[in-house]
Amino acid sequence: MEAGLKMFPPFKGYGIKTIQFAIDEPELYRIHFMCQCDMFTSDFFNERVEIEKILPYVRDSLELNNQDARWLITNMVIYTLGIGSLLVNSTCIMSVEEISRSLGSVCRGLMMQLEAPEDERVETIPDQNIKELGRIEEYVKGKKNMIIGYNADREMFQIRLDAVLYFEAVGEKVFAYTKQHVYEIRQRLYQVEEQVKPFAFIRASKSLLVSIKKISSVIPESGGRGRLRMMNGETIIASRAYYKEIIDTLKDPVL
């Protein structure tokens, strides 16, 4: 397993120990890591993984600031605990070699993401050398503020919903648009809508779901339509059937 973690020496000991713990003591692992909360949180990490002890080494050895170092550690921990949970629940069968390659790929992907703006960062899930990819996908779907997308190279990503400007259906495909990237979402638009509605997404047309929080301005047009300017400067059209609801939602003080 160590070979896959060479790019992240500070994390090697934790990764090996945690995965081995899940394999050797599944019941204790379930009690220790899976019964604390429904979702992994920063407080959980600080308590269970003692991030602050790892942080200085990661920060100094990789020449990162505190925020980036903490982001890197946290996301590596999320993925490691997710793999451990899948192993414990027998929903994933992976060899030591596959786990090693997976963790190494995730680390390399996260290091690349550090070059992107903070609100564009995603957690990379490699789709190579993993036989039970569908099971990992189920785990990702359990994190309600994420959605799975694929880039042009068919790499699978966890995309934070607060980084998405809008979703668009083009023919039989659905795409998620962030400030700088486009990802294919392998679901129907109505399925995406069910998942993202609690996160302030609303219909702008039959083929568009837009994040209310990412609209910077609205320009009324004739015929009851409206032009929505997004925070990246892009403009999209809200159809007459949905424009009034968008305006009413924007006026909601709770938003």
pLDDT of 121: 60
* Cα of 161 vs its chain's centroid, Å: 8
pLDDT at position 35 is: 54
Site of tokens 């979703």? 167
Look up the pTM and report it. Answer: 0.53
Backbone region of residue 200 per phi and psi (left: phi > 0; alpha: psi in -120 to 50; beta: other values): left
Which CATH superfamily includes the segment(s) 157-250? Answer: LytTr DNA-binding domain (2.40.50.1020)
Question: pLDDT tens track of the chain, all 255 residues?
Answer: 444 444 455 565 666 677 777 777 777 766 666 554 444 444 555 545 556 777 887 788 778 888 888 878 777 777 777 777 777 766 566 666 676 677 777 777 777 777 766 655 654 444 433 334 444 454 455 556 778 888 887 777 778 888 899 999 999 999 999 988 899 999 999 999 998 988 899 999 999 999 999 999 999 988 889 999 999 889 999 999 999 999 999 887 555
Q: What confidence score (pLDDT) does residue 210 get?
A: 96
CB-side neighbour CA atoms (13 Å) of 13: 3
Domain residue extents for the chain: 2-109, 157-250
